[in-house]
Amino acid sequence: MADAPKIRVPKTAKKGEIVEIKTLMPHIMESGQRKDKDGKTIPRKIINKFVAEFNGKPLFSADMDPAIAANPYLQFSAKVNESGTFKFTWTDDDGTVTTSEQKIEVA
Amino acid sequence: MQQLSRRSALALGAAGAALSLIGISSTAQATPESAAADVAKFAGGKTPVAGKISIELPEIAENGNTVPLTISVDAPMTDDDYVTDVLVLADGNPNPGVATFHFTPLSGKAEASTRIRLAATQNIVVTAKTSKGAVYTASKLVKVTIGGCGG
């Protein structure tokens, strides 16, 4: 298993506030363009999909191509009207799915 | 490896540059035309209107392996008027696709940042669709000192 994703979400927010979310997933993001020392193309292996949900509702998602740099970083925002849980899901080309959750208190 | 003389290295470099200019390359290469075709497909028959989108990129990216990119679209992001999808293309990479972002009214803002790979100096083309069917587009030139696609 690869390293765990790094996530930054505020622990608390005011109702209706737009909070900033930062995620970083350690991953080589092998583009499929590089060649090894024998001149053979190294097969593509990237995280191709990222999904963020809040309390089970879709919040933000991204379809990624090999032009996303290694250790894919995504920053986006969320308008929070209630306390709840963010769920983040990364999908690898090989089908591996990594998920992570983060709670927020909304007053 | 055999040492290249300065002169032959220069000649090779020039030949390589000439080859890439006229588009003869062993791998498929994105072009402004193929990027435009992708934009047209994404727009689904609508003609994108210039504006509403801001693209933040360094003017000169020293390392094409990781170039910070922020896109934002000016939109109310209410339940009935919000940005649904944003397509990001790089018209000089081996493949034009960079990412597609999907927003919802819960996003609050149609803004996202990531880090991208750029093979060479080229245009970043961003196209956004809204829930009301409007399509906007913008592009920005980024100069790349060292390309970031291996090879």
Q: Is residue B9 part of a domain?
A: no
A12-13 and A97-106 beta bridge pairing: parallel
Per-residue confidence (pLDDT) for residue B18, from 0 to 100: 46
Per-residue confidence (pLDDT) for residue B11, from 0 to 100: 58
Q: The complex's ipTM?
A: 0.95
Per-residue pLDDT tens digits for A36-70:
999 999 999 999 999 999 999 999 999 999 999 99
Tell me which chain B residue has its CA closest to the CA of residue A23: B114
What is the CB neighbour count within 10 angstroms for residue B9?
11
Q: What is the CATH number of the domain that holds B89?
A: 2.60.40.2470
How many folded domains does chain A comprise? 1
Question: Is residue B20 scored above 80 in pLDDT?
Answer: no
Whether the Cβ atoms of residue A34 and residue B150 lie closer than 8 Å to each other: yes
Whether the Cβ atoms of residue B99 and residue B128 lie closer than 8 Å to each other: no
Confidence of residue A1 (pLDDT cuts 50, 70, 90): very low
Interface of A with B in 5-64 (CB under 8 A): 18-19, 31, 33-35, 54, 57-64
Q: Does the beta-carbon distance from A69 to B117 stay under 8 Å?
A: yes
Q: Is residue A40 part of a domain?
A: yes
How many folded domains does chain B comprise? 1
What is the DSSP secondary structure assignment for residue B59, as one 8-state letter? S
pTM of the model: 0.86
B101–chain A Cβ distance below 8 A for any pair: yes
Q: Does the beta-carbon distance from B151 to A34 stay under 8 Å?
A: yes
Q: Which domain does B33 fall in, by range?
A: 28-144
Facing residue for B66 by CB, picked from A64, A69, A77? A69
Q: What is the mean pLDDT of residues B67-93?
A: 96
Per-residue confidence (pLDDT) for residue B113, from 0 to 100: 98
Q: Which domain does A33 fall in, by range?
A: 6-106
